[in-house]
Amino acid sequence: MQDQERPAGADGTAGIVRHRTFVAFRPPRPLRLDSGKKLGPVSQVYETYGQLNQDRSNAVLVFHALSGDHHAAGRHSPSDSKPGWWDNMIGPGKAFDTDRVFVICANVIGGCRGSTGPSSRNPATKKPYGAGFPVVTLRDMVRAQKALIDHLGIKRLLAVTGGSMGGMMALHWAIEYPDSVRCVIPIATAAYQSAQNIALQEVARRAIMADPNWRGGNYYGGPPPEKGLAVARMMGHISYLSDRGLQDKFGRRLQNGSGLAYALKPEFRVESYLDHQGEVFVKRFDANTYLYVTKAIDYFDLTDGSNNGGGFAPALAQKFRRSSAKFLLLSFISDWLYPVERSDELEQSLKLAGRPVRHETIHSTYGHDACFLEADRMAPVIREFLGGRKGERDGVKRRGRKEPVKICP
């Protein structure tokens, strides 16, 4: 069960890793989607870090966010300049200590990093699915990953976790497979996608679809809609940051010191920064995947619509009552995309359900991106929750008990 080719810690990370591919839901047993359509066969690319213990009880399933993938930690070669997207959280001595736990991360279905998605070949046509790919939900993605966990012979996970969309999937897992996980750690997330967030993502989707190169989603074999995707990424990236963070990093500083040009071109450093984010993103991400995955996030609603009038906690609590897990919620003061209030709502529902829950609010100026950047502040809380050392707790505002409580031994 080990994908590492060099011992973890040799370079201060989870080591040199390689991915694997798991194929399931082959006809005549395809994956039945929430839309009523069927998908199969389904490939899922995944990586693992650490060692699975003898009784297979130390596995942690990590779900990635919108722009992430299966490469969560380590490096693919000694010359690889960029480690996995959560390398600051996964590895020896880190929040998810690979000396103790076995971490799994898979690219979601609908993705563009090897798992079955719009850019994959449709077995019926022998061409990329394109716009013919069926709409998937986060619950569909979770169902697919449950098949992967079954394939690995893991009956019950130690924990499921993720930030943003990954946190939503962790919550789905707790409800869909209530006896198959001991600890749930949703980070910077919510029980439903808000109207504001749906609006932001719709503008981003429109930018992609307005690009002439999108061609109704069937652009494979020709120039991709890079301009539209770059604008979508710029829009999304703004929502991941905070006003304070942008002000501290860029302010109103100009790209050069020659003063205002009085021309319709980027002049402020923040403009150039966003241009760079768009340019880099289009080199590694598929436009159709952006459309499909953002739509899956927008469909996410554990309250089944009861949040439209408020007071949904009892209905959501009813779902959580089926879970046998213990919960750690992490939120960030400067996150306006999934603000602290959304985790407060989850905490209320979990308490009504009688589930053990802690909610930690972390002070950070990074905005929503804090769930991927504030490793030093998250790690002690997570290690403590999973039964490890307590560590320092700088910047963490405790909710409820003053003394640390070991929840997941």
The conformation of residue 220, written as its DSSP 8-state character, comes to T
The catalytic residue among 67, 115, 119, 164 is 164
pLDDT (0 to 100) of residue 391: 43
pLDDT digits (tens, 9 = 90+) for 61-120: 999 999 999 999 999 999 998 999 999 999 999 999 999 999 999 999 999 999 999 999
pLDDT digits (tens, 9 = 90+) for 130-178: 999 999 999 999 999 999 999 999 999 999 999 999 999 999 999 999 9
- According to the model, what pLDDT value does residue 392 have? 39
For residue 399, pLDDT over 50 is answered with no
Average confidence score pLDDT of the chain = 92
Enumerate the β-bridge partners of residue 38: 32
Is the per-residue pLDDT at 395 higher than 50?
A: no
Residue 55 reports pLDDT greater than 90: yes
Q: Is 368 a catalytic residue?
A: yes
**What CATH number has the domain spanning 20-193+299-398?**
3.40.50.1820
The pLDDT of residue 388? 57
Cβ 22 vs Cβ 148: under 8 Å: yes
Q: What ranges do the domains of the chain cover?
A: 20-193+299-398, 198-237+263-297
Q: Is the pLDDT of residue 357 over 60?
A: yes
Give the residue, 294 or 14, on which the prediction is more confident.
294
Q: 46 phi and psi, to 5 degrees?
A: -145, 160
Q: Has residue 2 got a pLDDT over 70?
A: no
Lowest mean pLDDT among 178-182, 256-260, 306-310, 324-328: 306-310
Do the beta carbons of residue 3 and residue 18 sit within 8 Å?
yes
Asked whether the predicted pLDDT for residue 49 surpasses 60, the reply is: yes
Percent above pLDDT 90 for the chain: 86
Q: Are 185 and 174 in contact (CB under 8 A)?
A: no
CB count within 10 Å of CB 406 equals 11
Query: How far is Cα 327 from Cα 348, in angstroms, rounded to an integer?
Result: 12
Q: Which residue has the higher pLDDT, 389 or 100?
A: 100
What's the whole-number mean pLDDT along residues 249-268?
Answer: 91
Residue 306 pLDDT > 70, yes or no? yes
Which residue carries 């020896």 as its tokens? 92
335 included as an active-site residue: yes
Residue 403 scores a pLDDT above 50: no
Q: How far is the CA of 121 from the CAs of 44, 70, 114, in angstroms?
A: 14, 20, 11
Task: Provide the pLDDT confidence category of residue 9 given band limits of 50, 70 and 90.
Answer: low
What pLDDT was estimated at residue 256? Answer: 85
Q: What does the pLDDT read at residue 211?
A: 98
194 is catalytic: no
Q: Cβ neighbours of residue 157 under 8 Å, at least 6 residues apart? A: 59, 60, 61, 149, 180, 181, 182
Given the residues 69, 298, 368, 369, the one annotated as active site: 368
Q: How far, CA to CA in Å, does 45 sit from each of 19, 107, 123, 166, 272? A: 6, 6, 18, 16, 34
Give dist(CA 344, CA 314) in Å, integer: 14
The structure tokens 């389904």 sit at 42
List residues bridging with 90 in a β-sheet: 96
Q: What is the pLDDT of residue 183?
A: 98
Q: Across 51-112, where does the E strand assignment appear? A: 59-63, 90-91, 96-97, 102-106
Res. 309: pLDDT tops 90: no
Task: Report, as an integer, the average pLDDT of 375-397.
Answer: 74
Number of neighbouring beta carbons within 10 Å of residue 403: 6
What does the pLDDT read at residue 11?
52
Q: Which tokens go with 237? A: 């990236």
| Tokens (6 digits) for 150 | 């079954």
Q: What is the mean pLDDT of residues 275-293?
A: 98
Residue 307 has what pLDDT?
72
- pTM (two decimals): 0.93
Q: For position 408, what pLDDT does the model report?
A: 58
pLDDT at residue 282 is higher than 80: yes
Of the candidates 335, 343, 359, 369, the residue annotated as catalytic is 335
Q: What is the average per-residue pLDDT within 327-346?
A: 98
The top-level CATH class assigned to 198-237+263-297 is mainly alpha
According to the model, what pLDDT value does residue 394 have?
40
What is the pLDDT at residue 406? Answer: 45
Nearest CA to 164 among 294, 296, 65? 65
